[in-house]
Structure 1
Amino acid sequence: MVISFVTGIFLALGQHFLYRSLNHKAYDSEDKKARVVLYGRALAYSCKVAFGGCVILCYRQRIWRTFRERALSVFTIDQLFLATEDPSLFLNWETITKATIVTAMALVLWVIPIATIVLSPAALTFGDFLELGTNNVGVPTLNFTAESFKDWRKRMVMPDGSTKKSLTYWNTTDRDAKTPGWYDYYDQPSADLKRIALMAAYNLKNQTLNRDDARIKSCGGDFNCTYAISFVAPGYNCVEIATGSNDDQKLHEAGAPFDTSALVPRGQNVYLASVDNGDYQRPQPAEFLSNQGGVPSGYIPDDFGFFKSEPVLWIGYSTNSTEPLPDDSPFRQNWTHRFDPHVFSCTHYETNYTVTFNYSGPFFTTHVSSEFLSPVVDTNFSRFDNGTINYNDPGPASNFLTPHLDVPKYKKVAAYHAMGKYLRDFLRGSMELVPPSPVGPSYAKVYSDITITKLVSNSTNEPLDDLPKRVQGLYTDMILSLFSAPQLLVVSEERMDVKTSKYKSTFMYTAPKLWACYIPVIFFVFVILLFGAFTIWEDGTTFGVGFSRIMVTTRNTTLDEISRGACLGNDPFPVELMQTRLKFGVLNEGGHELEYMGIEGSGVGHCAFGVPSELSPIHRGVRYAGLQRRSEGVKKMKED
């Protein structure tokens, strides 16, 4: 009994450790999956055999104690002997009331297969598992400082044979770089930058351009991942100056090139942008250039190729409030709804970006935070006597960026300027809105490339609300889209720990489910084991239910008489016999059997089934007739 119980516990532990070893493990082979599942089911079946064996052994001990204490019908005795294969005893009120303990044991025996074979394998399932980890990989980042030290005369060849390319094209005062005092100066953005800027502007998705294999490269394999990078790049700091027609005075004080009178409803423009005032002159003064392109001939002006200022973007737009105009409104003759004009300015800044990339399957999202550091070119314009801006007189001159003094800074600012130029190309121009009254309908006349960007509503063809923030966002998207071209000089790599995750189809083991099946079984089997052990101690011997045990315990002349005519073991059995109540005890008879067996002493009795009136209780420690006594008697008979 103990060995069976302990074996069952070890088998349950074996199933647990097997399932735990399979937890979150993926198998490509279906045969191997089926094989390991069968291993678990085999252990579950073995548990059932072990625990069931313990219960059966204890049950055998207990039914004999029940037969000694209770007089039961032959039908009930039949059912108790067949309890392991016939569950009908649970419908017999006599077994429930007079043999409660053994009936409960039988119930546990019938429930064990459900808990072990049926339910316990459900602790191991197959599904999607989110595997979390960390990879130390090289992720792409931006390094505009690399532009500071690029010489267009020298190709930068990468190990794979590709060439790193700059964001800018350059002119020079000497192609051979031999003339004393020679220097290179900025010409225009490169073709690679133009391609990326156009694609970023045309892109209407909620994600920036990126490489097709960006997730594999950045996450270190076929994972989802999250990481954050920081870099310094250009950015536009946009601030709203005027909201509504009453803020024109603020615009005049700020030196804006227009006011809200140019915007709907007072004016005809629903969008108006002035983005070129103070721009870098290209080409540099033509009278100083030779027929060799950007190479100057003869005298070179002192300020040749200087970055003296960066254009400030002045943008005005009007939004439809969807609120109908009152009948007494002065704008009622042209417009049906109230329009709110806005004017804002954007200054080009060197900006510290912190970007969090989140790759998930074929998609990715970015969360960007920025800190504006300092203007790209820190100069201001003087004013004429009438208060208007003199864009030909920036200052102070000490903040000019020259191509022959601080060359690294000049080249980096040139890259910033090239990025800003393409944003200005899309924002430049205007959109006129034809009034819907009196003839209608209203429609826009477009004189700007802003309509090819996501800054304009797809339904109304008018600028979207919160345009300052959207302009900053478009410029940020253009910068992040540089990651789609790893051949660019500014795209570099930074090693960092990346948080990875991946859904895998694996085995999934839930230990509480397994032990929710086994703990009740172990508990009840242990209680039954204690009952069985106590019964053996109480009886002083062990019992069995084999044929030999039945044969010797039914050797009673009374049983011979009442069972006469029913000796074939046939079904159905006589009803009157099945209703006869029997008990197990010591027969109250003479010593003829003892004398026949050659055993001396009348104190040794015969234990058998019989009617209660002919039986006495069995006492622990008394030596009743058994094989040992019989063998001694037979030996004596032979000697005589």
Structure 2
Amino acid sequence: MVVSFIAGLLFALGQHVLYKRLHHTTEDDEQRKVKLVLYGRALAYLSKVAFGGCVIICYRQRIWRALRDHAFSIWSIDQLFLATEDPSLFVNWETISKASTVVAMALVIWLIPLATIIFSPGALTFGDYLEVGSAVIAVPTLNFTAESYKNYRNATYNRKNVKQRSLIYVNTTDKAASAPGWFDYYDQYSADAERIALIMAYSLKEQSLSTEDARLSSCGGDFNCTYTISFIGPGYNCEELARGADDDQKLAEAGAPFDTSGLAPVGRLAYIADVDRGDYSRPQQEGLGLGGVPIDFISEDLGIFQTEPVLWIGYSIDSNETLPADSPYNETWKTRYDPHIFKCTHYETKYTVDFNYSGPYFNTHISFDFISPIINTTFSRFDNGSVNWEDIVPVENYISPRGDVPLYKKTAAYHAMGSCLRKFLRGKIELEPPIPGPGYPRVYSEVTKTRLVSNTTAMPKEDLPMLLRDFYTDMILSLFSDPKMLVVAEERVLVNTTRYRSSFIYDSGKLWACYGPVIFCVFVSLTVGAWTIWEDGTTFSVGFSRIMVTTRNSTLDHISRGACLGNDPFPPELMHTRLKFGVLVEYTEELDYTGQDGYQGLSHCTFGVPSELGPIVKGTIYAGLKDKQRMRIMKKEKID
């Protein structure tokens, strides 16, 4: 009994260990997948056999106790001995009322296969699960400092041995770089920078460009992932200065080149941009030869960045609200227009970008930390307070190619990206008023080719300052789409990965929910069986030999005449005869002495009618195979 119980526990634990090892593992070989499932079912079957065997042994011990305590009809005795194959035991009130413990143990035997073989394999299924992990992976980032040390005379290569491309084209005062006082100076943004800016601007997508394998390379495989990078680059810090008609006070103080009077409804403009004040001129001076080499002289301000143009942008939004009857604009407009003016200053900016890749898509959440203006200069003022657009101060803040060369080249890279943006912004959009009509826009700007303007009405979108800032940010991030760019670098960061995998899924709770009641019931049965053996002082079986020796009773011989074939159907009157198991009270001439408990002779235990049986007492010697030698000794003592 104990060995069977322990074996059942070990088989159940083996099934748990197997399923635990299969949990969240994939198996592409269908034949091996079937084998693994069958291994688990085999362990469940072996566990059923072991637990069932333990309860059956205990059940057999308890049957004989029930037959000693109560008289049962032969029909009920049949059911007790055939309980493992005949469930009619559970609808027989005689067995239920007189042998409830035995019936309960028989019920456990019937239910063990249901819990172990049927339900326990259901703890292992096959489906999709979310695999969560993390790893430190090299992901793309931007390093504009790389431009600081770029020499166009010497090619540079990335780790894949691909020639890297710069954001800028440069001129020089000496191609050989040997003349006294020679220096290189900025010419224009490169074709690669322009190509990326054009593709991003014309895509009309609300995100930056990326490589086709961006998710695979950044996430370290076929995962979804999130990670954060930080880098320093150029960014536009935008501030709204006017909202509504005649809101021009801040504009005058800031030295704006226009006010709200030109915007609808006062004027006829839906959009206007002044973005080139103080821009780096091209060519830098007269008399430049091939490669920008000065032919006759080198001017003092050759290649110097005096300022970075401020973006002055005005736009007017159609509110779609009908003008009131007393509005002064009823003669030309049908709805109310709200003018806005803002400025954007080019800053060196710290970007913190949270990337989230999900399937073929990705999105970003960006935080901005505007450090300082790229060139910290401004236009001077005349005595009357108006702006002197020809005088940029302070001179000491100019960025010269003759001074800090790394700073100059990085500034040139920043300026190049700003120039790529400004080419889309400059110009204007005029509105033809709807009265007398028809109303329509006249476009004199490439801004209508970008997502900053509605592609259905050709009118600027609301919240244009933030949209412009984000538009420029996406242009910066679109540099990732071309890993050949010099500024594209790598940074090792913690990447949080997730992916859905088709694999084995094991629910240990389901397995032990099946085995828990089984183990408990089997343990209770084991306890009952062991207690019964201890009380009886012996063990019992239901084999043929045991039945044969326990039915050696002349009374049984008499009542069973004519029914010795073991055939079905059995005589009904015989089936209802009540029998009990106990000590047969009879006189034996051969053994003529007084036994224990007042019974004469070496008593015989057998089935019989209750009136001819006495109780079996633990420790008493009864006639049996094991007592054969003891019987000889007792007979010899009697003769002596």
TM range (shorter): over 0.9
* Correspondent of 1:454 among 446, 451, 456: 451
More divergent stretch after superposition (178-187 vs 210-219): 210-219
Deviations 1:385-435 (A, max 9, x none): 554322211001101111111111111111000000111111111122333
Separation of aligned partners in 1, 2:566 and 2:49:
30
Aligned to 2:298: 300
Distance 1:94 1:191 in 2: 100
Q: What's the CA shift for 1:221? A: 2.8
For each residue in 1:112-134, what CA deviation from the matched residue of structure 2 results, as whole angstroms up to 9, or x when unmatched? 11111111112222222333333
Shift of 1:28: 2.3
Could you tell me which residue of structure 1 aligns to residue 424 of structure 2?
A: 426
Alignment of 1:291-330 (within 5 A): 291-292=289-290, 294-330=292-328
* Structure 1 residue identity aligned to 2:407: K
Q: Secondary structure of 2:282's partner?
A: coil
**1:91 and 2:88 aligned:** no
Q: Which structure 2 residues correspond to residues 342-421 of structure 1 after superposition, within 5 A?
A: 342-421=340-419
| CA shift for structure 1 position 212 | 1.6
Residue of structure 1 in register with 2:267 after alignment: 267
Equivalent in 483, 507, 511 of residue 510 of structure 1:
507
Q: Post-superposition shift, 1:503? A: 2.8
Going from structure 1 to structure 2, the CA distance change for 1:331 and 1:562 (only over 3 Å counts) comes to farther
> By how many angstroms is 1:570 displaced?
2.0
Shift of residue 633, structure 1, vs aligned partner: 6.7
Tell me the residue number matched to 2:217: 217
The question of 1:474 aligning with 2:471 is answered yes
Within 5 A, what are the aligned runs for 1:590-605? Answer: 590-591=587-588, 602-605=600-603
Query: What is the deviation of 1:313?
Result: 0.5
| Alignment partners' CA distance in 1, 2:156 and 2:611 | 114
Taking a change above 3 Å as real, the CA distance of residues 561 and 151 of structure 1, as seen in their structure-2 partners, is same
Kept in 1, the 8 Å contact 2:448–2:455? The answer is no
Match of 1:256 in 2: 256
Instruction: Quote the residue 2:107 is aligned against.
Output: 107
Q: What's the TM-score once normalised by structure 1's chain length?
A: 0.94
Q: Percent identity?
A: 62
- CA, structure 1 residues 232+550, in 2 after alignment: closer, same or farther (shift >3 Å)? same
Give distance in 2, aligned partners of 1:432 and 1:71.
112
Which residue identity lines up with residue 168 of structure 1 in the other structure?
Answer: I
Q: Please give the alpha-carbon distance, in whole angstroms, between the structure 1 residues aligned to 2:384 and 2:368.
A: 38
How has the CA–CA distance of structure 1 residues 564 and 333 changed in structure 2, closer, same or farther, with 3 Å as cutoff?
Answer: farther
Quick one: structure 1 residues 129 and 594, their matched pair in 2 at CA, closer, same or farther if it must change by over 3 Å?
Answer: farther
For 1:348, the aligned partner's letter is H
Rounded Cα–Cα distance in structure 1 between residues aligned with 2:245 and 2:107: 89
After superposition, where does 1:595-634 map in structure 2 within 5 Å?
602-630=600-628
**For residue 135 of structure 2, what is the amino acid of its counterpart?**
N
Larger deviation, residues 495-504 vs 536-545:
495-504
- Return closer, same or farther for 1:589/1:443 CA change in 2, 3 Å cut-off: farther
Q: Which moved more, 1:178-187 or 1:526-535?
A: 178-187
Q: 2:441 aligns with which of 439, 444, 447?
A: 444
| Contact 2:22 2:505 (C-alpha < 8 Å) held by counterparts | yes
Alpha-carbon distance change, 4 to 277 in structure 1, aligned in 2, over 3 angstroms: same
User: For 1:179, what is the secondary structure of its paired residue?
Assistant: coil
CA offsets 1:231-259 (integer angstroms, 9 cap, x no match): 11000000000111141222122221221
Shift of 1:303: 1.0
- Give the 3 Å change call, closer, same or farther, for CA 397–578 of structure 1 in structure 2: same
1:234 paired to 2:231: no
- Mean CA deviation greater in 371-380 or 173-182: 173-182
The 8 Å contact of residues 588 and 601 in structure 2, kept in 1 or not, is answered as no
1:118 aligns with 2:118: yes
1:584 and 2:581 correspond: yes
Which residue of 1 is the match for residue 4 of structure 2? Answer: 4
Whichever residue aligns with residue 299 of structure 1, its letter is F
Mapped to 2, the partners of 1:636 and 1:476 lie a distance apart of 111
1:179, 1:374 → 2: CA distance? 35
In structure 2, the residue matched to 1:534 is: 531
The verdict on how the C-alpha distance between 1:592 and 1:56 changes in structure 2, with shifts beyond 3 A counting, is farther
Q: 2:68 maps to what in 1? A: 68
Q: Secondary structure at the match of 2:178?
A: coil
2: distance between equivalents of 1:294 and 1:629?
Answer: 125
State the alpha-carbon separation in 2 of the partners of residues 290 and 451 from structure 1.
Answer: 36
- CA shift, 1:55, in A, is 0.1
2:596 matched residue in structure 1 = none
Supply the distance in 2 between the matched residues of 1:483 and 1:4 (Cα, whole angstroms): 67
The alignment of Structure 1 onto Structure 2 pairs a total of residues equal to: 631
CA displacement 1:543-563 (0-9 Å, x = unmatched): 111111111222222222322
Tell me how far 1:592 sits from its aligned partner.
Answer: 5.6
SS in 2 for 1:229: strand
Specify whether residues 435 and 49 from structure 1 end up closer, same or farther in structure 2 by C-alpha distance, changes over 3 A only. same
Cα distance in structure 1, aligned partners of 2:97 and 2:332: 99
Q: State the shift of 1:635 in Å.
A: 11
Q: Which amino acid aligns with 1:586?
A: V
Hey, what's the Cα distance between the residues in 2 that align with 1:568 and 1:452?
104
Structure 2: how far apart are the matches of 1:494 and 1:88?
75
Equivalent position of 1:569 in the other structure: 566
Look up the equivalent residue of 1:297 and give its one-letter code. I
Given residue 209 of structure 2, which amino acid in structure 1 is its aligned partner? L
Provide the rounded CA distance (Å) in 2 between the counterparts of 1:191 and 1:122: 63
Distance (whole Å) between structure 1 residues aligned to residue 462 and residue 96 of structure 2: 81
Cα distance in structure 1, aligned partners of 2:157 and 2:321: 61
What do you get for the CA RMSD once the two structures are aligned? 2.2
Distance 1:48 1:445 in 2: 86
2:458 is paired with a residue of what secondary structure?
coil
- d(CA) in 1 for partners of 2:433 and 2:520? 86
Supply the distance in 2 between the matched residues of 1:238 and 1:518 (Cα, whole angstroms): 67
Q: Which amino acid aligns with 1:197?
A: A
Change (3 A) 1:548 1:349: same
Deviation at 1:346, TM superposition (A): 0.2
C-alpha distance after superposition, 1:458-494 (max 9, x if no partner): 4433211111011000000000010111111111122
Alpha-carbon separation, structure 2, partners of 1:443 and 1:374: 41
CA distance in 1 between partners of 2:188 and 2:104 (Å): 93
Inter-partner Cα distance in structure 1 for 2:149 and 2:226: 32
Q: How far does residue 619 in structure 1 lie from its aligned partner after superposition?
A: 1.2
Find the aligned partners of 1:152 and 1:233 in 2 and give their Cα distance. Answer: 21
Q: Give 1:131-170 correspondences, 5 Å limit.
A: 131-158=131-158, 160-170=160-170
Superimposed CA distance per residue, residues 359-393 of structure 1 (whole angstroms, 9 cap, x where no aligned partner): 23322221111101111111010134554322211
CA distance in 2, matches of 1:274, 1:280: 15
How far residue 104 of structure 1 moved from its aligned partner, in angstroms, is 0.4
Structure 2: state its 5+ residue gaps: 593-598
Q: Give 1:593 shift.
A: 8.0
Q: What is the CA-CA distance between 1:610 and the residue it aligns to?
A: 1.7
Unpaired runs of 5+ residues, structure 1, are: 596-600
Q: Does 184-193 or 151-160 show the bigger shift?
A: 151-160
In structure 2, the partner of 1:598 is none
Paired with 2:113 and 2:626, the residues of 1 have a C-alpha distance of 40
CA distance in 2, matches of 1:90, 1:322: 82
Query: What secondary structure does 1:234 align onto?
Result: strand
The 1:274–1:88 alpha-carbon spacing in structure 2 relative to 1, beyond 3 Å, is: same
| 2:279 partner SS | coil
CA–CA separation in structure 1 for the residues paired with 2:455 and 2:573:
95
The 8 Å contact of residues 236 and 344 in structure 2, kept in 1 or not, is answered as: yes
Report deviation, 1:217.
Answer: 2.3
Note if 1:193 corresponds to 2:193.
yes
1:524 equivalent in alignment to 2:515: no
